Structure 1
């Protein structure tokens, strides 16, 4: 690999509510969600969609859509797009809400006005939306979005305060998996939200769920300390992933993500975050790489701080991790789990979400990330959305 130069970009955007979830909508658009809940603080709840670009020096984010969700805070979301439709599901209190996401191409014109005398080369651009053009205007097309609520289903049934903690759409867009505080994982036909199966998965609330890219597997982790691999078609438990923990310690899994393995067709790796708890608080936290079908813990990396967020790039080359107390972001090479970048204090509070910008492919060489080897968006309850780093070859 060529020598790597590390870039740290500035804050991309500030929003007026805490952020809990982030997802790419297109190769150039990202959606973030969160809010202040039902408390009468005046803090909004909802989504914002930003268009991402690179101006030759740094990444830039421009807001294109804002959708508020009333009194319902957005704690998690999942996006699916095909050639015909785009869908968004979001966990809101006890329910999972389905949204239709429609895009429209809007013509914007930038009127160019000279500043100073007529010989000056300094120009000022004023964005305007117009129908006709002349020699003094440049036409720019921008993708706008509308987010329209559709069906809603209750996905958690625990006592007086049920809470939908996780919603995840399968890679082929045919299934939705949800998990909440009752410990059950519910499978739904997507996008009709027809109930299919209830997996009596865990004894405590679900922390995370993910679908494998290949096969019929889903992974679930919860506060009971278990990590369970399921056959989501048959609805059967395949295996429980166990490892030899340091003596006298207890660990809980926080996040789980499948990722493809470069050069190995139809095979996925599984990445998980494990945090010490109880008497083991001073022990290391772990980023783990599993071969899930074999139930083998293949590699791990140690950290001195508990972990809160995890992302795997779509081509399987990089893994990103966010920390709980220091608000740091770290980037690992997926093959070896070697740390290639560490940004201490990327946020002033714990990292709530990470999302890789899509990697360039032979078919699509014009993604925003094409200017760098890797780039990651990080969000936090400090209300900042950041593209904190890129790796340029």
Structure 2
């Protein structure tokens, strides 16, 4: 049975621009991106990096760096790290801008130890979350040596046109202004990048050289989402044409499509797609999708969370949500997934295998959830008392985190006592019956 609670302690930080995209740069550093666009509204465009820690009672976010992108809003992004480098691919209108992220280790200074966590507008965050260590702990650090922190610097590299808008492949100024990259993904192996936009094409690039690999005429309408399979051999795409398709990365040929018969004959459109590994067998994969019903009042529309076989596209199970869905995330081990809603700004956490709802956070945001990211299970540097935790963002400028506490179980000593009592009562009852 799902647990429903008010989000009273979920606020991590506020920024001074609408948020559209979210990525984990490291196991404890999260990047949020967005902006106000090219209009002269005074709202900045760019991204910020926050370090997330757990102080024993709640999660705390500390701003690490802010990078502004001028007049171009960042609507989507993808990060990749290997043993040598970290990269960020950011969608800016019809282009994809590649950044090389320089990460250095420095010693943290002691100045400003009594300052509270500040948002990107330079004002103290109303949540009251502290950005520095307490004085007592800092005095200990000064004796034992200053704490080491990671510093991030974003260096712009190549920029490529990934969407043509009018589908004719021309690159003149008029057509370029109509183009918009909707989604970018980097394969798990780090060798390929996929982009999709308003022209319906799925374009594959070798990464990080950004040389073309395949141009797939995938959909008749704009792309909504893409995702690589865990083995990087397949790519799923969903579009406003109502289709969910899976492609072979090497050949660019369609492998299968996601077909099913919706309940009550209602038409549903795919919104997001994510691959996830099977918890019991990491070599197998599942595809998770969210879809929304069409032809009804938008506030009365239903959403569907579905699970598909990643090998052949057979639908395995689904659950109906009485809200329009807007965002989807799957944890790296496939054990949990999270969805965000459109009108209520709520967040739900589901068990990946069964699609059983484990927790509901109503009104986590004041408007629709734009992106979600589950803290990784493998190699996570954030120790907490949570079974899972998901970060959510919205155009309400808020960064929130929602944690699923470990489900309560009986202590071993109590289980043993119960077993002994049951055996004793059984023996007594059998003796009474003369058995």
Fold shared, TM-score > 0.5 on shorter chain: yes
Indicate conservation of the 8 Å contact 2:87/2:100, yes or no. Answer: yes
Greater radius of gyration (CA): 2
1:117 corresponds to = none
Gaps of 5+ in 2: 115-133, 167-174, 408-435
- How big is the shift at 1:371? 3.5
> 1:196 is matched with which residue: 213, 225, 236?
213
Structure 1 CA distance for aligned equivalents of residues 240 and 137 of structure 2: 53
1:272 Cα offset (Å): 0.1
Contact 1:113 1:125 survives alignment (8 Å): no
- Higher-strand-fraction structure: 1
Alignment of structure 1 residues 198-347 onto 2, 5 Å = 198-214=215-231, 216-279=233-296, 281=298, 282-347=300-365
Equivalent residue, structure 1, for 2:393:
379
Deviation of 1:253 (Å): 0.3
Map Cα deviations across residues 221-280 of structure 1 (whole Å, 9 max, x no partner). 000000001001111011111100234421110000000001124110000001011247
CA displacement 1:123-157 (0-9 Å, x = unmatched)? 736979xxxx964x851111010011100000110
Partner of 1:31: 31
Q: Aligned pair in 2 of structure 1 residues 109, 256: CA closer, same or farther (>3 Å)?
A: same
Corresponding position: 1:100 with 2:95:
no
Name which of structure 1's ranges 271-280 and 139-148 shifts more when overlaid on structure 2.
271-280
Q: After the TM superposition, which residues 331-370 of structure 1 pair with which residues of structure 2 at under 5 Å, given as runs?
A: 331-359=349-377, 361=378, 364=379, 367-370=381-384
Q: How many residues align?
A: 374
2:172 aligns with: none
Bigger mean CA deviation after superposition, 152-161 or 61-70: 152-161
The offset of 1:369, in angstroms, is: 4.9
Three-state SS of the structure 2 residue aligned to 1:83 is coil
**Cα separation, 1, equivalents of 2:264 and 2:108:** 63
| C-alpha spacing 1:7/1:346, structure 2 compared with 1 (3 Å) | closer
SS at match of 1:345: coil
How many Å separate the matches in 1 of 2:10 and 2:350? Answer: 21
Q: Give the direction of change, closer, same or farther, for the CA distance of 1:343–1:158 in structure 2 (3 Å limit).
A: same
- CA separation in 1, counterparts of 2:307 and 2:25? 27
How far 1:5 moved relative to its partner? 11
Residues in 2 aligned to 1:48 and 1:127: alpha-carbon distance in whole angstroms: 25
Rounded Cα–Cα distance in structure 2 between residues aligned with 1:294 and 1:187? 22
C-alpha separation in 2, matches of 1:316 and 1:169: 18
Q: For residue 124 of structure 1, what is the aligned residue in structure 2? A: 135
Q: TM-score, normalised by structure 1?
A: 0.90
CA contact (8 A) 1:317 1:334 kept: yes
| Residue 156 of structure 2 is aligned to residue 149 of structure 1 | yes
Deviation at 1:52, TM superposition (A): 0.6
How far the C-alpha of 1:381 sits from its partner, in A, is 0.3
TM-score (norm 2): 0.81
Closer, same or farther: CA 113–10 of 1 in aligned 2, 3 Å: closer
- The two structures, once aligned, show a CA RMSD in angstroms of 2.4
Residue in structure 2 matched with residue 78 of structure 1 by the alignment: 78
The change in CA–CA distance for 1:279 and 1:124 in structure 2 (over 3 A counts) is closer
Q: Mark the CA change 1:342 to 1:134 in structure 2 (over 3 Å): closer, same or farther.
A: closer
| C-alpha spacing 1:280/1:292, structure 2 compared with 1 (3 Å) | farther
Q: Is the 8 A contact 2:274 2:328 kept in 1?
A: yes
Q: Shift of residue 90 of structure 1? A: 0.8
* 2:181 maps to 1:164: yes
Q: In the TM superposition, what is the alpha-carbon distance from 1:6 to its structure 2 partner?
A: 8.1
- Per-residue CA deviations over 1:5-54 (Å, capped at 9, x if unaligned) read 98953310000000000010001100000000001110000010000101
Aligned to 1:140: 147
- Match in the other structure for 1:18: 18
Contact 1:110 1:140 in 2 (8 A): no
More helix by share: 2
- Say if 2:5 and 2:361, in contact at 8 Å, map to a contact too: no
Q: Report the Cα offset of residue 201 of structure 1.
A: 0.2
The answer (yes or no) to whether the contact 1:21–1:77 under 8 Å persists in 2 is yes
2:399 counterpart of 1:392? no
